[in-house]
Chains A and B, each alone.
Chain A
Amino acid sequence: MNRLDMTGLRTMPAQVWGGIRLVPLVREEPVAGLRLHRRVHEGYGRVQVAPRTEYCSYIPHGFVADWSGEDGERAAYGTQLDGPAGTRVPDCIPVRRHHRMAKRVRSKGVTEKRLLRGGATKCRFLPLHLALEGYLALHFRGPSIVWDEWSQQAVRQGLSPRSEAAYGGWAVSGLAEVLRIFEIHPGQCGVLVYASDALAAAFVVPHPDDYRTLHPTLIEDMYGELVYQYAHFGMPVADFAAHIRDSPLLRTVADLRTAARAQERLWAENHGTFMADRLLDSSYAFQRVHRMDAFTLWRFLPSFRRGLPEQHIGEVITDHKGCVAYLKTFRLSAAQIRRGHLLGTLHDNDWHLERTAAALGSSHDALVARIRDAGLGSLLDAHEVARRSRLARRR
């Protein structure tokens, strides 16, 4: 698998509010056998990364994928307020352990044994964490060969602390408003979010009822720095405006209807070009995270090739034909793409600085500067790097 297959999804005319444009995605037929439910996590989560190393996160919401096929079950909905918990002192906040990012969820009456034998029909995963996890874990382990230039810390612990900045949906100006007044189409299963007409995120679910339930969760999702800036500084985007030419040929209601139909067609074509070409065309590195019956949960990373301004990471659930049943993407900023590209090249060259510099077409010193600019300077062994530079200069 190397690209996203959006078969079965059709774009509908966009809706515009200020600088944000939403393009609805509609399915003729809902995906059979898979439903998503919303789950609300209270407190913050903690993942044991290594002994005595923990990764803490606050998770506004999570999704539960249910492939038991019981369509009669309604999607769970609602945020629970736990009263005075917010006023407690921080150390009393309940801490939940999210052992893995995607995890089987036990249904009622399913024993531990049955769960292990594959009796579970639900899987819990945290929206976008999987994708971001994939991005952060990119060579998280650090150099696999102990070259002298890498510090002991880099060798032992890898890229630590691993952290990326993202903006919550509520911080993206105009997004809350647009999500509230957005008119959900009948049969709508997804949405493409544009900020200043740059694709900010794509969100697809298997069933229209799920979409209706999960639509408000878009405000709690993470958005990249780029999206935040575009929404904040961007001008209102142009909306389509219908115009019927005044001509003496318009004599009956039928003529007028023909002219109106033409405007509707024009409108439909106008937004058709907004389909996420870059998201679909470029090839991605897919990694399978979880398999559940006919459905597979993947996360994907872009090629990190230079010169492509638009690169997304994301997570996707595909059905047995490889078509997208669930999709969520995160647009990387230019700095994040550069960082990904740098790490990718380092990995391809076994973390050898000279060879990497040659591959990138630059010098050893320039590469070191680049590593430092990317915020990874602490991984380098300063003494060794200085000695190498001195040697290189003397030569």
Chain B
Amino acid sequence: MAETFADLIAAEDVLLFVNAAVTSTGQREFRSQADEQRLSLSFLHEYVRVNYRSVYAAALALDINDHNAALIVERLLRTAGEASAGEKRTEGALIAARLTALPPQRVYRIFRALRAAKVNNRRTRAIMRDWLAARPDAGHDAVKYRSGLTTLARHAHLRLGEDELGDFLFRPGKRARYEHAFLDAYRRAHFEQAAIYELPYTVAEGFAAKHGVARAQFLERIAPRMTRLERLRTQRSAGTSAELGFMPLTRLALYVLALPIDERVARRAELTGALRSAARRSAGPYAGTWGRVAAVLDDSYSASGSSVKRRRPLAVALGCHFLLEALAEPGSYRAHWTSGARDPLLVRPIGPTPLGSRILDALEDAPQRLVIVSDGWDNAPPGLAGEVLRVWRTRLDPERRTSVVHVNPVYDADVFDVRRLAPSVPTTGIRDAEDLAALVEIAQFAEGRTGAAELQAYLDERTDRFLEGAS
């Protein structure tokens, strides 16, 4: 099939959007402010939605982050009039599948935004109703997301009429007691201290403050009611140890990097073990299949991220380190940190970024794959990494014995994409280290060796797989 110029541009636009949707969360980054990020992102959403609506919806099936998934859902529902009947069906399925995967507080926020935008057609109401029907326990939501649920019920005309839930939300004080355990505990918690431990953690916290319960005692008794993330967040102040065995890789890397250096040294075996097993889990069937792998990992000062995304780029680099170790043939993985650090567990974001010479170090052992994890800013000296990669490709390795991929955890608001090191090197955005294997697939399209038709086929396949997994 002959490809037109327009096809190539379309493929490029799509990849641009996917990179942005993976990396940007509309928050402040090391080099750009939150409003720049949001402005840039909102332009990109508008552009892709208008020009490639089907692709825009299909992005919901990819590993994009929750912020962008929420934006896509909201924009698709707001502009339903622009879609054909067939498109609407696919969109509806994709939206429903993605909403179940999103954290409930985000979904309630989307619904609130739709209410503010006065989007209240039958399709939207049906999506809201179905999502709520699929929630495991409406009583739990009524206690934990009370205002979200009332807004949703009002907006979607849900009939919560005469039953307990309706009374709890809209006619408080009508009933002397409730049958539902959460609702009744919420009622009693106003005057009975023991009842607060029957509530979800975030709700109980407010009551604990009201009753003046000591923090340590409260955390100890509420522990069974916490989500895993809440337990992790509070365990340092409570002085208990976290269960590290079940955490996803990047979350674990963030946890490790938040620990002081002495504690990392003291718990070295435990932490390394947890990171290794998380990496093995994410590698899955790919483990040990990547051959000889070299990695260049950025731990320069800019990897410290921003106050809202603290150490995120560094955590991604650390996660990739352990994941690549698992993906590589056993014993044939080499890591090169830009600061020259040897011990991955003790990395700190510090110093300049001499990416060029580190890439040379990595290329010296002629690996089969070279993975560069960096925010794309190369400043010691500026631009050397790009030059090294260019000359390497044209002079030393034109047969492509080494495949080079650059994964970038930071969205650059100015270029509407993640920053590239060299045109010859495929670059892809990354948010969680565990998506690395899937993202490297996408990165092949960026190299221009595979065309728009394959990209569309890939998107269709991902969509099918996603919808199957959801149903």
A184-B301, A250-B396 are known; give 20 further A-B pairs, CB within 8 A: A13-B352, A13-B380, A181-B301, A183-B351, A183-B353, A184-B351, A242-B356, A242-B387, A244-B388, A246-B391, A246-B394, A251-B395, A251-B396, A253-B364, A256-B391, A259-B391, A260-B388, A264-B357, A264-B384, A267-B380
B383: chain A residues at CB < 8 Å are 241-243
What is the size, in residues, of chain B's interface with A at 8 Å between Cβ atoms? 29
Measured between alpha carbons, how far is A244 from B386 in the docked complex, in Å? 10
- Chain A 41-69 interface mask (CB, 8 Å, partner B; 1/0): 00000000000000000000000000000
Q: A177: nearest residue on chain B (CB-CB)? A: B31
Give the complex CA separation of A240 and B380 in angstroms.
10
Query: A240–B395 contact, CB under 8 A?
Result: no
Which residues in A have their C-beta under 8 angstroms from that of B392? 256
A185 within 8 Å of B (CB atoms): yes
Asked if B381 is an interface residue, CB under 8 A from chain A, the answer is yes
- Closest chain A residue to B377, Cβ basis: A181
CB pair A260–B396 under 8 Å, yes or no, is no
- Whether B356 and A260, one on each chain, are in contact in the complex, defined by CB atoms closer than 8 angstroms, is yes
- From 338 to 363 in chain B, residues with beta carbon under 8 angstroms from any chain A beta carbon are 350-353, 356-357, 360, 363
Q: When each residue 362-390 of chain B gets 1 if its CB lies under 8 Å from chain A and 0 otherwise, what string results? A: 01100000000000000111111011101
Task: Kindly identify, within residues 141 to 190 of chain A, every residue whose CB is under 8 Å from any CB belonging to chain B.
Answer: 181-186
Q: Say yes or no: A256 contacts B379, CB within 8 Å.
A: no
Q: Mark B21-36, 1 if CB is under 8 A from A, else 0.
A: 0000000001100000
Q: Which 7 A-B pairs have the closest CB atoms?
A: A267-B381, A183-B301, A242-B384, A242-B383, A244-B387, A183-B352, A241-B383
Decide yes or no: A186 and B381 within 8 Å by CB, A251-B395, A260-B356, A260-B357 being known contacts: no
Which residues of A lie under 8 Å from residue B379 when comparing CB positions? Answer: 15, 183
Q: State whether the Cβ of A263 lies closer than 8 Å to any Cβ in chain B.
A: yes
Q: Say if the beta carbon of A257 comes within 8 Å of chain B.
A: yes
Q: Is A381 an interface residue (CB 8 A)?
A: no
B300: interface (CB < 8 Å) = yes
Which of B350, B351, B363, B380 has most A Cβ within 10 Å? B380
User: A252: CB under 8 A from chain B?
Assistant: yes
28 contacts between A and B (CB under 8 A): A13-B352, A15-B352, A181-B302, A182-B301, A183-B351, A184-B351, A186-B350, A240-B381, A240-B382, A241-B382, A241-B383, A244-B387, A244-B388, A244-B390, A246-B394, A246-B395, A248-B395, A253-B360, A256-B392, A256-B395, A256-B396, A257-B360, A259-B391, A260-B357, A260-B387, A260-B388, A264-B357, A267-B381
A226-264 vs B, CB cutoff 8 Å, 1 = contact: the mask equals 000000000000011111101010111100110110011
- The main secondary structure of chain B at its interface with chain A is helix
Task: Find out whether the CB atom of B300 lies under 8 angstroms from the CB atom of A242.
Answer: no
Query: Which A residues from 1 to 43 make CB contacts under 8 A with B?
Result: 13, 15
**B302 — which chain A residues lie within 8 A by C-beta?**
181, 183
Scan residues 149-189 of chain B and give those whose CB is less than 8 A from a CB of chain A: none
B residues bordering A, Cβ < 8 Å?
30-31, 300-302, 350-353, 356-357, 360, 363-364, 379-384, 386-388, 390-392, 394-396
Contacting B at CB under 8 A, from A252-285, are 252-253, 256-257, 259-260, 263-264, 266-267
Count residues of A near B (Cβ-Cβ below 8 Å): 28
Determine the chain A residues whose CB is within 8 A of the CB of B382 once the complex forms: 239-242, 267
**Chain B contacts of A182 at CB under 8 A?**
301
Bound CA–CA A130/B416 (angstroms): 48
- Across the interface, B31 reaches (CB within 8 A) one of A181, A243, A250, namely A181
Task: Provide the residues of chain A in CB contact with B384, threshold 8 Å.
Answer: 242, 260, 263-264
Distance in Å from the Cβ of B202 to the closest Cβ of chain A?
28
Question: A residues within 8 A CB of B353?
Answer: 183
Which residue of chain B has the shortest Cβ distance to A266 in the bound complex? B381
Residues of the B chain whose Cβ atoms lie less than 8 Å from the Cβ of A250: 391, 395-396
Q: Which residues of B sit under 8 angstroms from A184, Cβ to Cβ?
A: 301, 350-351
Q: Which B residues touch A266, using CB under 8 A?
A: 381
**Alpha-carbon separation in the docked complex, A183 to B339 (Å):** 12
Residues of A within 8 A of B386 (CB): 242
Please measure, in the bound complex, the distance between the C-alpha atom of A252 and the C-alpha atom of B382, giving whole angstroms.
23
Distance in Å from the Cβ of A373 to the closest Cβ of chain B?
A: 43
Residues of chain A contacted by B301 (CB below 8 angstroms): 181-184
Which residues of A have CB within 8 Å of B394? 246
Q: B351 touches which one: A186, A246, A264 (CB < 8 A)?
A: A186
Residues in B whose Cβ lies below 8 Å from that of A185: 351-352
A299 to B: closest C-beta gap in Å: 33
B360 pairs with A256, CB closer than 8 A: yes
CB neighbours (8 Å) of B388 from chain A are: 244, 256, 260
Q: How far is the CB of B425 from chain A (nearest CB, A)?
A: 15
> Of the candidates B30, B352, B357, B387, which one forms a contact with A243 in the assembled complex, judged by CB atoms under 8 Å apart?
B387
* Contact partners of B357 in chain A: CB under 8 A: 257, 260, 264
> Nearest Cβ in chain A — how far from B449, in angstroms?
22
Q: How far is the CA of A361 from the CA of B31 in the complex (A)?
A: 54
* CB of B13 to closest CB in A, whole Å: 28
Closest chain B CB from A296 CB (angstroms):
33
Instruction: With A183-B300, A183-B302, A183-B352 as known contacts, state yes or no: A252 contacts B396, CB within 8 Å.
Output: yes
Cα distance, A244 to B30, chains bound together (Å): 29
Whether the pair A242, B364 counts as a contact (CB closer than 8 A) is no
Q: Do residues A253 and B356 form an inter-chain contact, with CB atoms below 8 A?
A: no
CB contacts (< 8 Å) of A15 on chain B: these are 352, 379
Measured CB to CB, the closest approach of chain B to A244, in angstroms, equals: 4
CB-nearest residue of chain B to A241: B383
Q: From A186, A239, A251, A263, give the contact of B387 (CB < 8 A).
A: A263
Provide the bound-state CA to CA distance between A240 and B383, in Å: 8
Report the minimal beta-carbon distance from A264 to chain B, rounded to whole angstroms: 6
Once the chains are docked, how many angstroms separate the CA of A340 from the CA of B234?
61
Which residues of A have CB within 8 Å of B364? 253
Assembled-state Cα–Cα distance A330/B353 (Å): 31
CB distance from A51 to the nearest CB of B (A): 50
